[in-house]
Structure 1
Amino acid sequence: MGQIAPEQAEWAVVDRLRQMLEAPEGAYLASQSYALFSSILCWAMQHMRIHADYQLTDGDGAASALMAELENEQVNIEPWCVCSEPAGPVEGRGLTVPPPEGFENHSAARLLRNLRDAMAHGDARKVQPFNHGEILVGFTFNCSELKKRKVDWQGRIVLLRADMQRIGCSLASRYCAAIKAADQSGELEARAAAMIEDAA
């Protein structure tokens, strides 16, 4: 793979992670998919949650606007496909996945926030392996929201490798498209040059 230019880093890193997530290779496919999925989610969500006071470029505004779009999307539609009904056996595996708990009224943005927080917050082990026999096939995400330092909501969801691929790649594609479309004035390049100058 070639280099990633500094002025393209905001979207190009995520796009490369997406390409890797679409076709993971090696012996540890579920673990690799989780690593790529979590990297995409944490990178994109960090940018998409940027406060208006800290938006310096059109790309920052586009990331924030994408978050607003996701607030209006329900989780039971493509590509999120989070359904409260019990899933049937996964074809060819004899594997039954427990249905999500507590996500019935979630927006896509809220789902992504909770998944990101379950992975990124260091206060507890909220992500657990989900095995089928002796094979790791996905991960269980134990999610929660706090209000006045008390748990106000809790939910649990199992994501198989295919789920992480679908959600991660969809988020990455939309994020990269939004940032690339917004950067019509070269502001990302100017900001990257300023960062290099500050570090010199």
Structure 2
Amino acid sequence: MKCRFIGLLKLTLIAFAANSTVSLARQLDVVVFDNSGAPLAEAIVSIPILANEPTQPSTAIVDQVDKMFVPFVLPVRPGVTINFPNSDNIRHQVYSFSEAKPFELPLYSNQEAPAITFDKPGLVVLGCNIHDGMRAYVLVSPYIESVVTDADGVATLSSEMDFNEVSVWYPGVSDDIREQVKVVVDAGQERIEVHLDVAKDQQERTELSPLQQRFNRRARTDG
């Protein structure tokens, strides 16, 4: 009977510890607005605490759909490899001149998905040599948590580490990830609003010239 009692006590303590761990995780809803007061989708909200553990090898995707990069913004940790599939029926040539990761992929069609590893923190601006309106942003962040706001401008942060500040980035805020908008969070707060002095940014679909259209038709035939 004594052994059975001790066993039940251990199970109770384990369950209590598990529930305590869950309850310690702090959640915070961050609502981001642009300079017109409208909810701002595709802003990146982070907990600005440096991650102590190295990033485990992982992958992400930046696709090309209807002459646009998808997603428009993408936060990743250093060491993540991004695949660049081409879901269009035309060729693209992805490049970046950003200091954090300069690169240029060869002209390629939808049969291929080149991969690039982003190993240095910083902002990487993506473009396409063929379609000037295509633009996207990869934020290689050293922080423990980074979340993209949804269509309502909301990002939900969750961490078992206590934090009293969040940082917010959006195109036009800064090209330096150390100069993100910082907002103090009070103890016990579950929701905060952040108003950025930026306008909504977006890609522009580039209409191909007759020469480019002929080139792409020939490329598809040759490929």
Please say whether Structure 1 and Structure 2 have the same fold, judged by a TM-score greater than 0.5.
Answer: no
Instruction: Judging by fraction of residues, say which structure has more strand.
Output: 2
TM-score with structure 2 setting the length: 0.27
TM-score with structure 1 setting the length: 0.29
Structure having the higher Rg? 2
Instruction: Judging by fraction of residues, say which structure has more helix.
Output: 1
